[in-house]
Amino acid sequence: MRQLLGIQTVTSGKARFPRKVYGAILGFMRLKFLSVRLQKPFSMIREFHLADWFTLANAACGMGALFATMTYLQTTDIRHIYYACGLVVAAGIFDVLDGRIARWRQKTSAMGRELDSLADVISFGVAPAVIAYGCGMQGLYDRIVLAAFVACGVSRLARYNITAETLSDGGDKVKYFEGTPIPSSLLLVALLFVASMQGAVGDALWFGQLTIAGFVLHPLVLFFAVSGAFMVSRIHFPKF
């Protein structure tokens, strides 16, 4: 009968399937697979919690601070340093809010924690270092110290992500910080803001400059070295 109707069969073990039906099933599976792949980016966005949007705002403020500093380097208009410092402060506010919102709504996720770390690297690691560079810490030794400061911040966040569950004793909130948290760089940003307000930028930086082996070091950059050292230390700081 199948031969009269022109339907061929495919034999698999004891089962016999019409070839056209078999092909239709494979075609449907391919379409389903492609539709799932196309939907993945959109489903990721739908999985964001409210706190995650505040975290992204934190990162956006950090990027704004970088752009403001680059504009200052192009125009030498000191107001852009003020804008950069203000945007880092705004990033700090969003950083506080995202944690509180996550605990209030009782919705936390591994993705949210990773987002928070990445945003913090931009806003409290890279942005303060670039603002310092814009303010005049542009010698070779300055660049090495600023790069080491960012590296310490990245290392501090990586250690926190690994040990957060242990430090929280199974709860949702850690009891203390091991090493100073990277948002403590807000103190450095405040220092740079005051310096810029007083015109202490460029060649007028506080504490002047030293020339060692033909390369320049601004002693003010050592505040970043101390901050980085505290971040990777094992000292316990209570979390309020």
Fold of 47-238: Four Helix Bundle (Hemerythrin (Met), subunit A) (1.20.120)
The tokens describing 20, both together, are 């056209």
On the question of pLDDT at 234 being above 70, the answer is yes
Tell me the percentage of the chain whose pLDDT exceeds 90.
54
Q: What is the mean pLDDT of residues 153-177?
A: 74
- At 126, the pLDDT band (50, 70, 90 cuts) reads very high
Domain ranges of the chain: 2-42, 47-238
Per-residue b/e over 114-128, b at no fewer than 16 CB within 10 Å? ebbbbbbbbbbbbbb
Q: Which of 9-18, 48-57, 146-155, 219-228 has the lowest mean pLDDT?
A: 9-18
Give yes or no for a contact between 174 and 167, defined as CB atoms under 8 angstroms apart.
yes
- Choice between 206 and 46, residue whose per-residue pLDDT is larger: 206
pLDDT at 151: 97
On the question of pLDDT at 167 being above 90, the answer is no
On the question of pLDDT at 222 being above 60, the answer is yes
Which of the given ranges, 6-10, 35-39, 181-185, 186-190, has the highest pLDDT on average?
A: 186-190
On the question of pLDDT at 21 being above 90, the answer is no
Q: What is the DSSP letter of 199?
A: T
Terminus-to-terminus CA distance in the chain, angstroms? 80
Q: What is the mean pLDDT of residues 77-87?
A: 97
- At 4, the pLDDT band (50, 70, 90 cuts) reads very low
Residue found by looking up tokens 């996720």 in the block? 109
Q: What is the mean pLDDT of residues 132-155?
A: 96
Q: What is the mean pLDDT of residues 10-15?
A: 49
CB-CB neighbours of 84 under 10 Å: 30
Helix residue spans in the chain (DSSP H): 2-5, 19-46, 50-75, 79-105, 110-120, 127-135, 140-167, 186-197, 222-231
- At 98, the pLDDT band (50, 70, 90 cuts) reads confident
Dihedral through CA 70, CA 76, CA 81, CA 87, nearest 10?
-40
Question: HSE-up of 208 (CA within 13 Å, CB side)?
Answer: 2
How many residues in total does the chain contain?
240
Question: HSE-up of 9 (CA within 13 Å, CB side)?
Answer: 12
On the question of pLDDT at 39 being above 70, the answer is no
Mean pLDDT, the chain, rounded, equals: 82
> Global pTM?
0.77
